Amino acid sequence: MTILYVIIPIAIFLVSFFVWIFLWAVRNEQFDDLETPAHKILIDDWNDRLKEAKI
């Protein structure tokens, strides 16, 4: 059962890591608009046009 002393800290570390990633994503406004990006991926020249604009 001593393996538990290794597994439990690892579990706690993993949980904190994922919570940290989630909080980062929320603060980074990744969840603010869930619909538009799904449509944007269908538009072919999305990135091409941006490049053109920069040149």
Interacting residues with other proteins (CB under 8 A): 1, 4, 8, 11-12, 15, 18-19, 22-23, 26-27, 31-36, 39-40, 42-43, 53
Q: Which is nearer to other proteins, 42 or 55 (CB)?
A: 42
What is the three-state SS of 8-25? HHHHHHHHHHHHHHHHHH
Q: Which is nearer to other proteins, 40 or 51 (CB)?
A: 40
Q: How far apart are CA 28 and CA 46, in angstroms?
A: 22
Q: State in angstroms the smallest separation of the CB of 44 from other proteins.
A: 10
Q: How far apart are CA 55 and CA 45, in angstroms?
A: 15
